[in-house]
Amino acid sequence: MIEIWFLLVLMTIQDTTPLIYKSFMGYESQEVCEEMAVLAKDFMMEIEMRRGTGDERTIKMESFCIPFEIFESEKPKGPEAGA
């Protein structure tokens, strides 16, 4: 088993959908996950502002980096991978 850090961002927008969530792939460390959380939240805020759904006063976001152990897997290589 290997440990990954799963990124989850929760968002609520005033006077609209009470809860929106976005999940992102697992990262190799908590530090990388936290760095990606900042980028993800900035990106999500920019999208909502472009949509005209709100701004920093009417949108609340929180991110979580959750440790999780997964099974190691090796991807098949070569021509037999598609067989």
Q: Taking 80 as the threshold, does the pLDDT of residue 81 lie above it? A: no
Find out whether 56 and 44 touch, Cβ atoms under 8 Å: no
Is residue 12 situated within a structural domain? yes
Question: How many domains is the chain partitioned into structurally?
Answer: 1
Is residue 58 situated within a structural domain? yes
Is residue 81 situated within a structural domain? no
pLDDT of residue 53: 83
Band the pLDDT of 7: cuts 50, 70, 90. very high
Find out whether 68 and 1 touch, Cβ atoms under 8 Å: no
Is residue 39 situated within a structural domain? yes
Q: In sequence order, what are the beta bridge partners of 4?
A: 68
Instruction: Give me 9's structure tokens.
Output: 């961002």
Please spell the DSSP secondary structure of 51-83, one letter per residue.
HTS--TTTEEEEEEEEEEEE-------SGGGG-
pLDDT tens digits along 46-74: 998 899 887 888 999 999 999 999 998 87
Is residue 83 situated within a structural domain? no
Is residue 76 situated within a structural domain? no
Strand arrangement, sheet containing 20-27: 20-27, 2-13, 59-70
Q: Give the structural domain span for 64.
A: 2-71
